Copies of this chain bind each other. A is one copy, B any other.
Amino acid sequence: MRMAELSNESGVPAATIRYYLREGLVPAGEHTSPNQARYTSSHVRRLKLIRALLDVGGLSISEVRDVVVAIDTNTPTLDLLDVAHTNLIAPKGDVDDQDRAWALALLEHVAQRVGWTIVPDDKSTQALVGLLSTFRAIGHSAMLNDLEYYAELAAKAAERDVAALQTPDSPDSVVERAIVGTVLGDALFSALRHLAQQNEAKKRYG
Contact = CB atoms under 8 A, between A and B. Distances in A.
A151 B81 CA distance: 23
Contacts of A184: 131, 134-135, 140
A160 B150 contact: yes
Interface in A158-179: 158-162, 164, 167, 169-170, 172, 177
Copies in the complex: 2
A35 to B, nearest CB: 29
Contact of A200 (B89, B138, B162): B162
Contacts of A117: 199, 202
Contact of A154 (B114, B128, B189): B189
Contacts of A109: none
Interface residues on A, range: 35 or more
A130 to B, nearest CB: 8
Contacts of A186: 190, 193
A14 interface: no
Given A146-B164, A150-B160, A138 B197 contact: no
